[in-house]
Chains A and B, each alone.
Chain A
Amino acid sequence: MDLSLNEKRLIKVLEPHKKYDPATLAAKMGTSAESVIQFSMLLAGRGLVHVEKEVHTTYALTDEGSRYAREGLPERQLLQSFEGRIPMADLTKHPLSRVGIGQMRKKGWVTIRDGMVEKTGQEMISEEERALREPECEGKGVSLLVKRGLLIEQQETRYLISLTPDGEAIAKKGLDLEAEIGTLTREQIIGGSWKDLPLRRYSLGTLPRKIYPGKIHPYQRILDEMRQTLLEMGFAEIYGGLVQSSFWNFDALFQPQDHPAREMQDTFFLKETVPVPPGFERVRDMHLHGGTTSSTGWGGDWRVEKAEQCVLRTHTTSLSIQHLVSHPEPPVKVFCIGRVYRRESIDSTHLAEFEQLEGIVMDKDVTFRHLLGFLKEFYGRMGFEGVRFRPGYFPYTEPSVEPEVFVDGLGWVEMGGAGVFREEVRAPWGVKHPVLAWGLGVSRVAMLRLGLKDLRQLYRTDIDFVRETSSWRPAHRASGRK
């Protein structure tokens, strides 16, 4: 049996067949009576000592009680203040009359009739008076006095501690009183003394202190998982500026200059401008009349000044098109996960900035069917097995498609947009092969995966959310079925 040092010391001071009170033991052990009780309880739990618990009640007079013990109870004093009979009106002038009259009457010492108080002659010593003299002998008088607030009851628990037969057996065998070791020291470890040391045992029942490791944000973890997926699928990552010219953000993507997205209520415009790049004329012509393609273009006006104005990028497609311009030869497979901006009123499902994931594939002979293939593969790897495709519309893709994934409890959820770049987008830059492109609002995936109700929680971090969200979560948790 593993006993703590304190438990052993207690057994040591207990002689067989003797009962001890804690104070005596405490003096012997050089500790407090409370500690002795605590150790005794532990030993009692192991069946080595017997703890008798006695509750003693004592009574003490209150201040008022001691006064009456000297001078007599109010009813006795009142009774002695008159002879025979007295008008009630006179008796009430006595300072003790308020308590005394009722008590005299209750005890049958007086009768009250027609305003006169008259002694009955039955004036025996009451139980209260007896108790007042000897409070120790308990009884009815004592409890009456307690009720009247003249006595107070005090309870005292006394312990008597003795060895059980098992305890005696252990004591007989002798106990090693060497101190137990908590933390091992360097000397104990390298010197070998650990072999003989009593090592304190710790309780599994005591829960550990909660510590929070440093960690990557749960949302970033999802973004990293997406990056990893795309890298595994052979995509190269691209990165670029948050600030783009309207030319690269809109015009190069064949968004007409009077398109609603280009109005100040939808996009964050900046006062800064940057010159349009060489070759902008081909983009202008594409807008005006379709350039050298079978397109009619948008017609109307196309102004360089409008193309020069800077914006906070509304999509990362502005980076994709610039990458294509500098890499016009196939094959190209690139992706980007970056912050994009929309001038939206902020609420639980709309933010002015959020992450977008974008991927493009440019190669000889790639088709719309391949686009659907890449989408299905990516969503599948993100844990969304049920994927379907619906027609969509984006100014720079044709055909356009809106992928949807199936989420248990929500049904089909729209998951971004995709399409094949229009010829009007790639022709100005000599890109001769089809470009498959897709964009995904990744914060939506994060909300589904993390079970969030409010998009703002991703960015305006409650650190308890980070602390309490497990680092490793099975990927298929929020996903749907086919």
Chain B
Amino acid sequence: MAVITLYYRYLERLVGVDKETILARLPMLGSDIERVEEDHVDVEFFPSRPDLFSVEGVARAMKGFLGVEKGLPAYHVKPSGISFSVDPGLASIRPYLGTAVIRGISLDEEAILSLMGLQEALHWALGRGRSKVAIGIHDLDHVTPPFRYIAEERTRSFVPLDYDREMTMEEILDTHPKGRAYADIVKDFPRFPLIVDACNQVLSFPPIINGELTRVTGESRNLLLDTTGTDERAVMTAVNILCTALADAGGQIESVEVDGGFIPTLAPTTRLVSSRECSSLLGVDFTPEELSALLERMRYSAEPVSDDKVRVTIPCYRADIMHDWDIFEDAAIAFGYENFRAEISPTFTIGKAHTVMTIASAVRSLGSGLGYQEVIPFTLTSERVMHSKMQRPLPAGTLTVLHPINEENTMVRTGILPLLIETLQFNRHRELPQRLFAVGDVVQDLTTYQKASFVSLHPAADFSEAYAVADALCRELSIPYTAGESGDQAFIQGRRGNLLVNGSVAGTFGEIHPAVLNAFELEHPVAAVEIDLRVVPGYPSGLGTP
């Protein structure tokens, strides 16, 4: 999530309303207030609204929401007369370029911080860590147009930002902090993207680092923007969001000629939406006029064109409007979520528990009836707990995760018994006897199904106890079983058995092997039972496989 710092002084100046009013309404616009400080507030905005990642963007939205200024904000773009060419050699490297010229800007410290925060947040939300879009902002007065975006030799050198000497691009990837951080995006390409001016001076090595030459300071008055990337829509959205923020900060936006076209246009788009559709989605009847009024407060321009339709003009910075319902959500926000009368629909249906859950509940009441306490262990575990400590081989069909968080969470459990024994280990200082059970999901061969497991730890725990519990469970769950010899190494030989149902093994019971007790630091015998609940009559078949 993008956390944006809003300085009150700058925000109040832009909105024209005191900060208390703004803070009170901000959450109802769609944000979480993270921290309220003396001179600023940190607010988290949703990734769908990158246009709110700057103080200027928030101010623009708040002005509408609070009714200070409604309708579509106007942005005028003049041609700059500057051109920018794109090297066809970039087609397979980083093909898309967005750009703009911003003139007559005067950025104070808070405006510069807002701009840097916006750039950072866009890199994250829109740029996917600069791979999809990367942004460069330059002091235009230090370079000479026209500009060229080229695929350059990897050994070309220039002075990168924050350095005082020339480095080759390869060297930057190896040693510059930004180079190391983003090297993965470009390091495999034969040539690297580079932006140069008419005198072949370097402005930027996208998506890695700008040149020191065009550093933006409080003195900068005229800026050149570049956005490069692999997704044209995202590249243009970034230009629109940056340009509208900079225009709100006082800049004049000018377009640049790129291979015959002009960027940016900051032109809005339009949609014709149905007020009836909106009403039936939200459950509140809006006339086209009412809907238009709500949308104007969300900074759209909206005009009723029939007794149903509304022509909506969408500002260029709204990257999230993909569907009419996105507009209807804005109408709902303008209406105020607190103003909806919450009411259950008259939908008539009859409730029904799932059989798997009903069986699990039956096992739980049996478990407590037998004097066992339920525990709810994790399903992620490790080979060490499931197998090596249990003296069992790793069963076929064990599911391991590709990028585990740590050594304790490498696989999904295939059974619950090892986790119960591990729970006994956590509780080895607690009063005896300890009788625990668990019922829940296990996964084998991608199929999820339920198992139940029981353990009893006390000085007199033995095979007979385990057999008796296994027998009681099977009788109570109507499982017709026979007991057969088991080879399970987790149990003592001669003190273990399999539960056989229709000739296949559906469970195991017996007295846990002392070597297993040692491995789990247990000091008394443990009687244990584990059973696959798919043998319970009525357990639905064909479930749990993707």
Q: Is A194 close to B, CB under 8 A?
A: no
Residues A326-385 near B (CB distance < 8 A)? 330-333, 338-339, 341, 343-346, 352-353, 361, 363, 365-370, 372-377
A391 touches B402 (CB 8 A): no
Nearest A residue to B351 via CB reads A231
**A478: CB under 8 A from chain B?**
no
**Residue on A nearest B355 in the bound complex, by CB:** A239
Check: B189 CB closer than 8 A to any chain A CB. Answer: no
Would A391 and B28 be within 8 Å (CB), given that A244-B546, A269-B403, A369-B282 are in contact? Answer: yes
Kindly identify, within residues 521 to 546 of chain B, every residue whose CB is under 8 Å from any CB belonging to chain A: 543-546
* In the assembled complex, B357 has its CB within 8 A of some CB on chain A: yes
- Asked if A241 is an interface residue, CB under 8 A from chain B, the answer is yes
State how many angstroms separate the Cβ of B310 from the closest Cβ of chain A. Answer: 14
Task: Assess whether A300 is in contact with B543, with CB atoms less than 8 Å apart.
Answer: no
A391 touching B337, Cβ below 8 Å: yes
Contact with A along B416-457 (1 / 0, CB 8 A): 000000010011001000111000110100111000000000
B179 close to A (CB within 8 Å): no
Q: Is A139 an interface residue (CB 8 A)?
A: no
Which of A240, A352, A375 sits near B543, CB closer than 8 Å? A240
CA distance A389 to B350 in the complex (A): 28
The residues in A between 100 and 148 inclusive whose CB is less than 8 angstroms from any CB of B are: none
Q: Which one of B323, B347, B378 contacts A460 once the chains associate, using CB atoms below 8 Å? A: B378
Select which of B342, B379, B380 is within 8 A of A375 by beta carbon: B342
> B371 — which chain A residues lie within 8 A by C-beta?
213-214
Does any Cβ of B come within 8 Å of A400's Cβ?
yes
Contact A258/B368 with A240-B543, A369-B341, A389-B337 known, Cβ cut-off 8 Å = no
Q: CB-CB < 8 A to B448: which residues of A?
A: 240-243
Chain A residues with CB under 8 A of B233: 299-300
Interface size on A, residues (CB 8 A): 102
**Are the CB atoms of B423 and A300 closer together than 8 Å?**
no
Q: Which residues of A contact B399 (CB under 8 A)?
A: 243, 270, 272
In the complex, the chain A residue whose C-beta lies closest to that of B434 is A463
> Could you tell me if A423 and B323 are in contact, using CB atoms closer than 8 angstroms?
yes
Q: Whose C-beta in chain A lies nearest to the C-beta of B427?
A: A463
Proximity bits, A384-416, B CB within 8 Å = 1, else 0: 000011111101001111000000000000100
Contact B376–A398 (Cβ < 8 Å): no
Say which residue of B27, B325, B361, B447 sits within 8 Å of A224 (CB atoms). Answer: B361
**Contact partners of A345 in chain B: CB under 8 A:** 405
In the complex, chain A residues whose CB is within 8 Å of the CB of B282: 367-369, 399
Q: B264-287, CB under 8 A of A: which get 1 and which 0?
A: 000000010000000011111000
Pairwise interchain contact A312-B376, C-beta atoms closer than 8 A? no
Tell me if A236 is interfacial: C-beta within 8 Å of chain B.
yes
Instruction: Determine if B188 is an interface residue (Cβ-Cβ < 8 Å).
Output: no
Q: Taking the complex as formed, is A424 at the interface, i.e. its CB lies under 8 A from any CB of chain B?
A: yes
Given contacts A219-B376, A363-B347, A389-B337, contact A227 B369 (CB under 8 A): no
Q: Give the CA-CA distance A133 to B434 in the complex, in Å.
A: 67
Q: Check A2 for interface membership: any CB of B closer than 8 A.
A: no
**A422 and B323: CB pair below 8 A?**
yes
Is B326 interfacial (CB-CB < 8 Å)?
yes
B163 interfacial contact with A, CB 8 Å: no
Give bound CA distance, A217 to B401, whole Å.
Answer: 28
Q: Is B111 an interface residue (CB 8 A)?
A: no
**Known interface pairs A214-B372, A393-B48; A399-B328 also in contact (CB < 8 Å):** yes
If A216-B368, A235-B349 touch, whether A461 touches B376 (CB-CB below 8 Å) is: yes
Report Cα–Cα, A374/B323, bound state, in Å: 25
Instruction: Decide if A215 touches B374 in the complex (CB within 8 Å).
Output: yes
Q: Could you tell me if B281 and A242 are in contact, using CB atoms closer than 8 angstroms?
A: no
The answer to the question of A175 belonging to the interface, with a C-beta cut-off of 8 Å to chain B, is no
Does B377 belong to the interface (CB within 8 Å)?
yes
Residues of chain B lying within 8 A (CB to CB) of residue A230? 351
Task: Known contacts A214-B370, A331-B348; decide if A458 and B323 are in contact (CB<8 Å).
Answer: no
Partner of A464, one of B132, B341, B370, B430: B430
User: What is the interface of chain A, defined by CB distance below 8 A to chain B?
Assistant: 212-217, 219-220, 224, 227, 230-245, 248, 258, 260, 264-265, 268-272, 274, 290, 293-300, 310, 312, 330-333, 338-339, 341, 343-346, 352-353, 361, 363, 365-370, 372-377, 388-393, 395, 398-401, 414, 420, 422-424, 434, 436, 458-464, 466-467
- Using A217-B373, A366-B347, A461-B426 as known contacts, list a sample of 13 further A-B pairs with CB atoms less than 8 Å apart, ordered by residue number in A: A214-B369, A224-B361, A230-B351, A232-B351, A234-B348, A237-B357, A241-B447, A242-B448, A264-B403, A343-B405, A363-B345, A434-B281, A463-B434
B residues apposed to A, CB below 8 Å:
27-30, 32, 46-49, 128, 132, 231, 233, 271, 280-284, 322-326, 328-329, 332-333, 337-338, 340-345, 347-354, 356-357, 361, 364-365, 367-380, 399-403, 405-406, 409, 412, 423, 426-427, 430, 434-436, 440-441, 443, 446-448, 543-546
30 CB-based A-B contacts, threshold 8 Å: A214-B372, A220-B374, A239-B356, A241-B545, A242-B379, A243-B412, A243-B443, A260-B47, A264-B402, A265-B403, A270-B402, A363-B347, A366-B347, A367-B281, A367-B282, A369-B340, A372-B340, A373-B342, A373-B343, A375-B342, A390-B30, A391-B28, A392-B30, A393-B46, A423-B323, A436-B345, A459-B376, A459-B377, A460-B423, A462-B426
Which A-B residue pairs are the 9 nearest by beta carbons?
Answer: A367-B283, A369-B283, A393-B46, A391-B30, A372-B342, A399-B329, A370-B345, A231-B351, A241-B448
